[in-house]
Amino acid sequence: MKVSSFAVARPNYYDRNATSTLLKYSAVLAPAVNTVRWTTTIAAGTKAFVELGFSSTRRITVGSVVGEYGAYMRLTSGAVFVDFPTISTISNVVDAFTVSQFTSQPTLYAGETLSGSTYDGTTGGTVQHSVAAKLTVFDA
């Protein structure tokens, strides 16, 4: 029989084999359909905090026909998903810059997936897309 005190607290998350994970994509691209640029799935027996999420777009060269373009992160849990921080822009002006970020701490559980995606429906031209996240992964 193991004797233990209930007064002993469970270690904080940062004392449970915590590791840092950085996910980033940044490139100047010609128009493209919605494309996943990076993805991570939380392993069994672990959890993760998304400490920072960042999406940005900047028009580099004009297109012949402007369309919607953007960048976002997607959190998927089973068959349900939510997109954040989402950027959706329609601009054909060079250097048009849009940014979105968050610093809250959504918790990701085992089996949930976080991905970063970009898209551009413009005909011609180029856009710089960036989508990034910083996670702390730790034992559940």
d(CA 4, CA 112): 34
Single out the residue of 114, 117, 103 nearest to residue 77, CA to CA: 114
Domain range list for the chain = 17-139
17-139: CATH topology is Jelly Rolls (2.60.120)
The helix or strand, by DSSP H or E, that contains position 55, with its residue range, turns out to be strand 46-61
Q: Is 14 strand, coil or helix?
A: helix
Q: How confident is the model at residue 2 (pLDDT cuts 50, 70, 90)?
A: low
Q: Is 8 strand, coil or helix?
A: coil
- Higher confidence at residue 136 or residue 3? 136
Please indicate, yes or no, whether the overall pTM of this predicted structure exceeds 0.85: yes
Residues of the chain with pLDDT > 90, as a percent, come to 82
The tens digit of pLDDT for each residue in 26-42 reads 999 999 999 999 999 99
Q: How confident is the model at residue 111 (pLDDT cuts 50, 70, 90)?
A: very high
The helix or strand, by DSSP H or E, that contains position 107, with its residue range, turns out to be strand 107-109
Dihedral-angle region of residue 103 (phi above 0 means left; psi in -120 to 50 means alpha; beta otherwise): alpha
Q: Is the pLDDT of residue 7 over 70?
A: no
Give the pLDDT of residue 86.
87
The tens digit of pLDDT for each residue in 62-105 reads 999 999 999 999 999 999 999 988 899 999 999 999 999 887 78
